Chains A and B, each alone.
Chain A
Amino acid sequence: FDLFSLEEALRLKDQVGARVTVLTMGPPMAEAALRKALSFGADAAVLLTDRKFAGSDTLATSYALTSAIRKLAEEEPVDLVFCGKQTVDGDTAQVGPGIATRLGLQQLTYIAKIESVDPDRREITVHRRSEGGVQVLRTALPCMITMLEGTNSIRFGTMDDLFRAARTPLRQWGKDDCVEDETKVGLKGSPTVVSKVFVPKPRAEKAKIIAGDGPDALASAAVETIFAAQPKLASELLAR
């Protein structure tokens, strides 16, 4: 889901000019994802990897990522932080708000569209999905944005981008490179623990097989079975 956010960042780069840095925390093999992002047009990539980060829950993950963003911000100002809506494995949509809160950034989640960015006035106007409609919001930079999925589709990099992606040196940071308080990362820094993992239980009994010869007999038998099991349903259907 982060591709929607990356594409949006690249569009802003096209429109108003910007440097796009991609950052991920994960095992060394996450390098492949970063190279891919470079080939789509990102300018720089940072891989945050350390065995001490393993077992981080969302609070610890957002702490580690925030530390890395702070370090990047020492080199050049960060105006916008894009996060995905949800990770495919975690599916929690908590890391983005966690980073925004730690950095004191305005937080724009479930963004369907970036209406405009005014780099001079340092303002951004967006469409945010809410339950009953769309909120049109305006806020000040810097801010954190998570894009709704399906809002755009990622561009394909050119041949040049591919070569550049392969050549661009990847920066790799560990705990000691950016994290101030090591009790806040990994298992130690995670308030939540998995207390058990299990397979969902099948229903006590299997489905009862409806018998009948041919589709019509099966269908009539099914209708009778349903009405017998749910006597109220028949009258409710009639009331429609």
Chain B
Amino acid sequence: MSDKPTSDKPQGRRFQLPEHLKAYQGVWVIVEQERGQAHSVSWELVGEARKLADKLGVEVGAVVLGADGPDLDRICGEAFGFGADVVYKVTDPVLADYRTEPYARVMTELVNAHKPEIVLLGATTLGRDLAGAIATTLQTGLTADCTELDIYAENRSLAATRPTFGGTLLCTIQTLAFRPQMATVRPRVMALPDRDESRTGRVVEIHPHLSESDIVTKVLSFIPDSAQDEAQLAFADVIVAAGKGLGKPENLSLVWDLARVLGAEVGVTRPLVQAGWAGFDRQVGQTGKTVRPKLYIAAGISGAIQHRVGMEKADLILAINTDANAPIFDFAHHAIVGDAVQVLPALTEAFSRRLQVSRLAS
């Protein structure tokens, strides 16, 4: 994505890594698990770590923290399947629930002991909380919400690209003479790698011997979200999305009708959330969800960069817009230049007819 560097140093800063920092080797992912379930962003990152480690010729380490048990063992196995070479399995009853203090303490010691050159975390409530804390204890650089990770070959440093200035531009950030280099990435920004069940690796068991009485913050209880409440946009295969071009809130039903026929989720742009047409959990984009469906139908959406970064990784994008010059047509695959209010019901009709025909044929 480096077509128009406005800086005079497109190859990254040239500098020599001091000798003592050359001991830092390997790419780590801190695996996020809650209640015995690993967050998929961690596996997306293990896939990304694999690519970086192969470029550097080093190993991928996955750090799994929690209370010991079969769930944790299963997660370690998954880490190998997604591409880790080494799993650092850190177990202690105190680590059962996430809290900043014990997690940050254990991670700081682990990084200082094993010296990875890169540490990646999911940009989630857990990952951002922990990353901000350990970047400070380790006194190193942290780049948040990256959309692309790469290696500057000439000095083996991490090139972390992220949106800047409210999302109209991208910038690439580099950590100079500090190690490890840290970055967070939001869920669904990177692709989930294929899992190879037969892959295995080394497990390094670590028992930090924490004491609950040393930890100031206590977890009194946990209130799980009810699954039905939240729109499952991030993992939907098909999304029908609406923008301001629909004109009035009543027209949103046209989008819902099409979504029903396709078994799709409904997404919206930010102005629709701000106008109260839909909840925040349906917003796609920089400040909403990142999605990667197989099919994304965008109706009455202009294609602003803040929306685009949340959906451009869809396999196929069909955009409907009255304006043949709308920016969305610069990155959609197929375009219908027309009035969404008329085209949407026609699409609903055409899809259900077509699916009916296929159903009869089989």
Interface residues on A, range: 35 or more
Residues on B with beta carbons closer than 8 Å to the beta carbon of A140: 216
B3-46: CB near A (< 8 Å → 1, else 0) gives 11111011011000000000000000000101101010000000
Instruction: Identify which of B7, B171, B346, B355 contacts A238 (C-beta below 8 A).
Output: B355
Residues on B with beta carbons closer than 8 Å to the beta carbon of A134: 222-223, 225
Q: Which residue of B lies closest to A66 (CB)?
A: B136
| Shortest distance from the beta carbon of B21 to any chain A beta carbon, whole Å | 11
Residues on B with beta carbons closer than 8 Å to the beta carbon of A150: 280
**Taking the complex as formed, is B211 at the interface, i.e. its CB lies under 8 A from any CB of chain A?**
no
Residues on A with beta carbons closer than 8 Å to the beta carbon of B35: 132
Q: Which residue of B lies closest to A192 (CB)?
A: B141
Q: Is the CB of B238 within 8 A of A237?
A: yes
Within 8 A of A (CB), among B331-356: 331-339, 342-343, 345-347, 349-351, 354-355
Residues on A with beta carbons closer than 8 Å to the beta carbon of B336: 209-210, 218, 222
Q: Is the interface of A mostly helix, strand, loop or mixed?
A: mixed
Q: Is the interface of B mostly helix, strand, loop or mixed?
A: mixed
| Shortest distance from the beta carbon of B171 to any chain A beta carbon, whole Å | 5
Residues on B with beta carbons closer than 8 Å to the beta carbon of A125: 220
Q: Is the CB of B318 within 8 A of A199?
A: no
A210-231: CB near B (< 8 Å → 1, else 0) gives 1000011011101111110110
Q: Is the CB of A109 within 8 A of B125?
A: yes
Q: How far is the CA of A108 from the CA of B217 in the complex (A)?
A: 9
**Taking the complex as formed, is B58 at the interface, i.e. its CB lies under 8 A from any CB of chain A?**
no
Q: How far is the CA of A136 from the CA of B98 in the complex (A)?
A: 12
Q: Is the CB of B173 within 8 A of A222?
A: no
Q: Which residue of B lies closest to A200 (CB)?
A: B170
**Taking the complex as formed, is B78 at the interface, i.e. its CB lies under 8 A from any CB of chain A?**
no
Residues on A with beta carbons closer than 8 Å to the beta carbon of B98: 130, 135
Residues on A with beta carbons closer than 8 Å to the beta carbon of B32: 131
A180-221: CB near B (< 8 Å → 1, else 0) gives 000000000011111111111111001111100001101110
Q: Is the CB of B222 within 8 A of A136?
A: yes
Residues on A with beta carbons closer than 8 Å to the beta carbon of B125: 109-110, 128-131
Q: Is the CB of B171 within 8 A of A196?
A: yes
Q: Is the CB of B350 within 8 A of A203?
A: no
Residues on B with beta carbons closer than 8 Å to the beta carbon of A108: 217
| Shortest distance from the beta carbon of B302 to any chain A beta carbon, whole Å | 14
Q: Is the CB of B294 within 8 A of A197?
A: no
Residues on A with beta carbons closer than 8 Å to the beta carbon of B176: 191-193
| Shortest distance from the beta carbon of B129 to any chain A beta carbon, whole Å | 5
**Taking the complex as formed, is A106 at the interface, i.e. its CB lies under 8 A from any CB of chain B?**
yes
Q: Is the CB of B217 within 8 A of A138?
A: yes
Q: Is the CB of A106 within 8 A of B34?
A: no
Q: How far is the CA of A196 from the CA of B339 in the complex (A)?
A: 40
**Taking the complex as formed, is B131 at the interface, i.e. its CB lies under 8 A from any CB of chain A?**
yes
Q: How far is the CA of A139 from the CA of B174 in the complex (A)?
A: 36
Q: Is the CB of A92 within 8 A of B144?
A: yes
Residues on B with beta carbons closer than 8 Å to the beta carbon of A88: 166
B227-257: CB near A (< 8 Å → 1, else 0) gives 0000000000110000000000000000000
Q: Is the CB of B174 within 8 A of A195?
A: yes
- The number of residues on chain B lying at the interface, defined by a beta carbon within 8 Å of a beta carbon of chain A, is 106
Q: Is the CB of B172 within 8 A of A219?
A: no
Q: Is the CB of B136 within 8 A of A225?
A: no
**Taking the complex as formed, is B221 at the interface, i.e. its CB lies under 8 A from any CB of chain A?**
yes
**Taking the complex as formed, is B137 at the interface, i.e. its CB lies under 8 A from any CB of chain A?**
yes
Q: How far is the CA of A2 from the CA of B37 in the complex (A)?
A: 33
**Taking the complex as formed, is A37 at the interface, i.e. its CB lies under 8 A from any CB of chain B?**
no
Do A219 and B144 form a contact, CB below 8 Å, given A131-B124, A192-B173?
no
Residues on B with beta carbons closer than 8 Å to the beta carbon of A208: 333-335
Q: How far is the CA of A130 from the CA of B2 in the complex (A)?
A: 35
Q: Is the CB of A196 within 8 A of B7?
A: yes
**Taking the complex as formed, is A102 at the interface, i.e. its CB lies under 8 A from any CB of chain B?**
yes
**Taking the complex as formed, is A233 at the interface, i.e. its CB lies under 8 A from any CB of chain B?**
yes
Residues on A with beta carbons closer than 8 Å to the beta carbon of B7: 194-197
Interface residues of B (CB under 8 A from A): 1-7, 9-10, 12-13, 32, 34-35, 37, 39, 97-101, 104, 124-126, 128-129, 131-133, 135-137, 139-145, 152, 159, 164-166, 169-178, 216-225, 237-238, 262-263, 280, 294-295, 305, 308-309, 315-319, 324, 328-339, 342-343, 345-347, 349-351, 354-355, 358-359, 362
Interface CB pairs A-B, < 8 A, 23: A93-B132, A96-B132, A106-B217, A109-B125, A109-B128, A110-B125, A110-B129, A125-B220, A131-B39, A135-B222, A137-B99, A191-B177, A192-B174, A193-B13, A195-B152, A200-B308, A207-B328, A207-B334, A215-B339, A220-B350, A230-B294, A236-B237, A240-B263
In addition to A93-B144, A96-B132, A197-B7, 18 A-B residue pairs with Cβ atoms within 8 Å of each other are A89-B166, A98-B132, A109-B129, A131-B39, A150-B280, A191-B176, A193-B173, A195-B7, A196-B6, A196-B12, A198-B1, A198-B170, A207-B333, A207-B334, A208-B334, A219-B349, A222-B350, A226-B295
The 6 closest A-B pairs by CB, nearest first: A97-B132, A191-B141, A219-B346, A92-B144, A207-B335, A192-B141
